[in-house]
């Protein structure tokens, strides 16, 4: 078995994900938002690379009645129905709706996984279900990649800590053989912060930015482990819940 953690999708080569199972992490906030939306009954999510692409996708017949959601610089996009806050993904707003989503880093990381056999989204919000699936895949002899969305093409503490927590569950306390160096470093981060999600999330640049612009409640929401226990799966350009909440 092989388990690689990648701290950012920048420069990702196709053969790093081809034929493998990939878990994408953008804990602040895109993958947390996807878990919240699917848990609250959204029919599916279409990730888009840009605002223009999101608008184009939302006009397609298969996206009839869809809601545009997302952020730029953390703030809601003018003209979009919802921002990128998990707290906005209430049952009232999202049940039975298709969401078309574009975010600064998260949706690009999701779409960088072309060629992977399975693509799942992970966050604190679904850590246990994502960890169980990763462990099952490794047990079946599959190669697994944990891909952090990172920040502006670089490392982000919030995603790297989450990757470490997921890697610990994936290997189930077993030997770290088969882990790349980023995986070893991510597991070290998980041990350094222990079970305390709030601390690494609010210390990260993404967390500090969100707190500064008034989204501190989102950081705390993203730090609640297993509160949106859906497993979002990206297949054929659409994200759906692989396991019902």
Binding site for ligand MLT (CB under 6 A): 26, 28-30, 71, 74, 84, 103-106, 149
- What are the two backbone dihedrals, phi and then psi, of residue 20, each rounded to the nearest 5 degrees? -110, 170
Nearer of residues 143 and 218 to ligand MLT, judged by Cβ: 218
Find the shortest distance in angstroms from Cβ 110 to ligand MLT. Answer: 9
Nearer of residues 26 and 221 to ligand MLT, judged by Cβ: 26
Asked if 185 and 192 count as a contact pair (C-beta separation under 8 A), the reply is: no
Instruction: Find tokens 């397609």 and name the residue.
Output: 60
Asked if 101 and 69 count as a contact pair (C-beta separation under 8 A), the reply is: yes
* Beta pairing, strands 75-76 & 67-72: antiparallel
Find the shortest distance in angstroms from Cβ 200 to ligand MLT. Answer: 16
Find the shortest distance in angstroms from Cβ 147 to ligand MLT. Answer: 13
Find the shortest distance in angstroms from Cβ 78 to ligand MLT. Answer: 15
Nearer of residues 104 and 126 to ligand MLT, judged by Cβ: 104
Find the shortest distance in angstroms from Cβ 206 to ligand MLT. Answer: 6
Nearer of residues 54 and 187 to ligand MLT, judged by Cβ: 54
User: What's the rounded Cα separation, in Å, for the pair 239 and 243?
Assistant: 12
Long-range contacts of 128-133 (CB under 8 A, 24+ apart): 128/169, 128/225, 128/226, 128/229, 129/226, 129/229, 129/230, 129/231, 129/243, 130/23, 130/166, 130/169, 130/231, 131/165, 131/166, 131/168, 131/169, 131/170, 132/169, 133/231, 133/242, 133/243
Find the shortest distance in angstroms from Cβ 37 to ligand MLT. Answer: 13
Asked if 54 and 102 count as a contact pair (C-beta separation under 8 A), the reply is: yes
Nearer of residues 106 and 183 to ligand MLT, judged by Cβ: 106
Helix or strand holding residue 99 (H, E)? strand 98-102
User: What's the rounded Cα separation, in Å, for the pair 89 and 87?
Assistant: 6
Find the shortest distance in angstroms from Cβ 50 to ligand MLT. Answer: 13
Asked if 125 and 197 count as a contact pair (C-beta separation under 8 A), the reply is: no
Nearer of residues 30 and 234 to ligand MLT, judged by Cβ: 30
């Amino acid at each position: 078995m092989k388990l690689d953690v990648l701290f950012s999708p920048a420069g990702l080569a196709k053969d790093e994900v081809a034929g493998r199972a990939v878990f994408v992490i953008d804990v602040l906030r895109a993958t947390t938002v996807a878990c919240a939306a699917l848990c609250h009954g959204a029919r599916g999510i279409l990730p888009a690379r840009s605002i223009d692409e999101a608008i184009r996708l939302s006009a397609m017949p298969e996206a009839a009645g869809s809601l545009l959601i997302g952020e730029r610089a953390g703030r809601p996009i003018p003209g979009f129905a919802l921002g990128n806050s998990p707290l906005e993904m209430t049952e009232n707003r999202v049940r039975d709706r298709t969401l078309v989503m574009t975010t600064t880093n998260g949706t690009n990381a999701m779409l960088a996984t072309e060629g992977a056999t399975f693509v799942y989204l992970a966050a604190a919000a679904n850590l246990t279900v994502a960890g169980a699936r990763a462990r099952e895949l490794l047990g079946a002899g599959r190669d697994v990649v944990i891909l952090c969305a990172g920040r502006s093409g670089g490392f982000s503490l919030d995603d790297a800590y989450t990757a470490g927590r997921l890697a610990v569950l994936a290997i189930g306390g077993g030997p770290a053989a088969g882990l790349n160096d980023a995986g070893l470093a991510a597991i070290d981060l998980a041990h350094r912060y222990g079970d305390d999600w709030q601390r690494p999330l609010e210390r990260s640049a993404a967390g500090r930015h969100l707190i500064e612009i008034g989204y501190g409640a989102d950081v705390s929401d993203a730090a609640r482990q297993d509160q949106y226990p859906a497993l979002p799966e990206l297949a054929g350009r659409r994200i759906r819940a692989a396991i019902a909440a």
